[in-house]
Structure 1
Amino acid sequence: MMNQRTVLVVDDDPDIRKIVHIYLRNEGYRVFEAEDGAAALEILKAEGDAVHLIVLDLMMPRMDGLAACMKIREEHDIPIIMLTAKGEDLDKITGLTTGADDYVTKPFNPLELLARVKAQLRRMNVLSAKQQAQSVISIGDLTVEIDRHRVTVDGREVALTPLEFAILGLLAGNRGQVFSADRIYQTVWKEQTGYSDNTVMVHIRNLREKLETNPREPAYIKTVWGVGYKVD
């Protein structure tokens, strides 16, 4: 029963909430429902660490998905999958920039969403063998504590999403090695490439904004033009 993992489904359409609830419940998940971002925040306030993943609609009344995502990220680093009715790259990038880990475009196949839920929860529990063996990685003023899921820069703790932490752990744990966007996507997302370039690029940009004094001249995550990214 997946150790009774709990998913919070946030959407103003009760039919969508119902179908997602049914698919998740049939896979053994516990499910909470909320009709907008404000209701989702109330559930998180009451349930705390009991929620392991959030499926969050982008367009909702009262508090939309972007506003809710930003509020959630102030206190929680649990995976967030954004649902959007729009297919434009700008909407996807905006969702990722505010702290979402993945997105699914409406109309969607519930089985695809279920697969992404499983992948996100699996990623939360699995680190590469190399990262496990190397529990603390220090590079200049940057320290990555794998076991504690903690990152500091010059003694300042930096809050990262699960995917941001996984990308940083991959690059820092293989210092000097260049990883293409496709390889990062396949390793961290554990999926074949599809729309990896924009997805990886946005997460790298978010990491730089959080880690670097000057993101335009990064000291840690370097771009090797035409090839990929590395940590020196």
Structure 2
Amino acid sequence: MSIAAQKILIIEDEPKIANLVKDFLSLDGYESLLVHDGALAIDSVRSYQPDCVILDLMLPNVDGLTICKEIRSFSNVPIIMLTARVDEIDRLKGLKSGADDYVCKPFSAKEVVARVESVLRRSALNFATQSSENTFSYKDITLNLDQFTCLVNKQAIELTPVEFRLLLAMIKKPSVVFSRETLMNHCYDDQRIVSDRTIDSHMKNLRHKLTAQTNNEQFIQAVYGVGYKLQ
């Protein structure tokens, strides 16, 4: 029995770029669906059920940041943002809206395929372990690797793949201070250069989601000049 190809939803209003990325993904065995209008994006995510979304920042009718936030309200599908804006602030806005990665235009189609492969590997959470244990708990937080779920006070909260990996790294070693570099290595396995502000942005989102379920109890503590720890 053949294995179904992983599905990539490409939301990009420039047909030349969209078709080029689709062709390169096809060469690596991926199935792709193209959407050129922001107004059709959410319905396409719901109906196509992609394994990864490639999302352009500038789209007609509905912009990429708005679409990203709405996707995050119902799905943890990995999202790679495409942007022509090279300013770091614009990149951080994409991360804060829930994107897992970004690629700046102009880019090579091979780079986009490599990023897709990377986020899919990370979202699979293929952690090497000598035990069959798939659940990690600390205080009122429980992570289940098989189901990719996070419970806080027995209430499910939605985490992006990056947020999940950040929390998992810390929950395995509570009270240990993790440097930003160490956390970057847990989140990105392709040796890219990622700024401290990128990790800080993801961590801010994660802390907000956790405290929202715990009457503002601060589980994650920032250690000035070093990094973060679970307390």
Q: Same fold (TM over 0.5)?
A: yes
Q: Are 2:81 and 2:103, in contact at CA under 8 Å, matched by a contact in 1?
A: yes
In structure 2, what is the equivalent of residue 35 of structure 1?
Answer: 36
In structure 1, what is the equivalent of residue 82 of structure 2?
Answer: 83
In structure 2, what is the equivalent of residue 15 of structure 1?
Answer: 16
Q: Are 2:152 and 2:213, in contact at CA under 8 Å, matched by a contact in 1?
A: no
Note closer, same or farther for the CA distance 1:58–1:180 as it changes in structure 2 (3 Å cut). same
Q: Deviations over 1:81-103 (max 9, x none)?
A: 00111001111011111110000
Asked if 1:223 is matched to 2:222, the reply is yes
Q: Are 1:208 and 1:218, in contact at CA under 8 Å, matched by a contact in 2?
A: no
Deviates more, 1:71-80 or 1:134-143: 134-143
Give the C-alpha shift of residue 206 in structure 1: 0.5
Note closer, same or farther for the CA distance 1:188–1:2 as it changes in structure 2 (3 Å cut). farther
User: Pairwise mapping of residues 63-74 of structure 1 onto structure 2 (< 5 A)?
Assistant: 63-74=62-73
Note closer, same or farther for the CA distance 1:99–1:131 as it changes in structure 2 (3 Å cut). farther
Give the C-alpha shift of residue 3 in structure 1: 4.4
Q: Are 2:207 and 2:218, in contact at CA under 8 Å, matched by a contact in 1?
A: no
In structure 2, what is the equivalent of residue 146 of structure 1?
Answer: 145
SS across alignment from 2:121 = helix
Q: Distance in 1 between matches of 2:53 and 2:150?
A: 23
Q: Distance in 2 between matches of 1:228 and 1:131?
A: 28
Give the C-alpha shift of residue 213 in structure 1: 4.5
In structure 2, what is the equivalent of residue 104 of structure 1?
Answer: 103
Give the C-alpha shift of residue 193 in structure 1: 4.3
SS across alignment from 1:129 = coil
If the length of structure 1 is used for normalisation, what is the TM-score? 0.91
Give the C-alpha shift of residue 21 in structure 1: 0.7
Letter in 2 for 1:25: S
SS across alignment from 1:55 = strand
**How many equivalent pairs are there?**
229
Is there any run of 5+ residues in structure 1 with no aligned partner, and where? none
Q: Are 1:171 and 1:177, in contact at CA under 8 Å, matched by a contact in 2?
A: yes
Give the C-alpha shift of residue 13 in structure 1: 0.6
Letter in 2 for 1:21: K
Q: Distance in 1 between matches of 2:130 and 2:71?
A: 27
Q: Are 1:2 and 1:29, in contact at CA under 8 Å, matched by a contact in 2?
A: no
RMSD (Å) for aligned C-alpha atoms: 2.1
Q: Distance in 1 between matches of 2:38 and 2:80?
A: 14
Q: Are 2:92 and 2:201, in contact at CA under 8 Å, matched by a contact in 1?
A: yes
User: Pairwise mapping of residues 1-232 of structure 1 onto structure 2 (< 5 A)?
Assistant: 3-48=4-49, 51-130=50-129, 133-213=132-212, 219-232=218-231
Is there any run of 5+ residues in structure 2 with no aligned partner, and where? none
Letter in 2 for 1:11: E
Q: Distance in 1 between matches of 2:177 and 2:130?
A: 17
Letter in 2 for 1:30: E
Letter in 2 for 1:178: V
Identity %: 36
Q: Distance in 2 between matches of 1:77 and 1:42?
A: 16
If the length of structure 2 is used for normalisation, what is the TM-score? 0.91
Note closer, same or farther for the CA distance 1:85–1:2 as it changes in structure 2 (3 Å cut). farther
Q: Deviations over 1:135-188 (max 9, x none)?
A: 222222222222221112222211111111111111111222222112211222
Q: Distance in 2 between matches of 1:108 and 1:205?
A: 29
Letter in 1 for 2:223: V
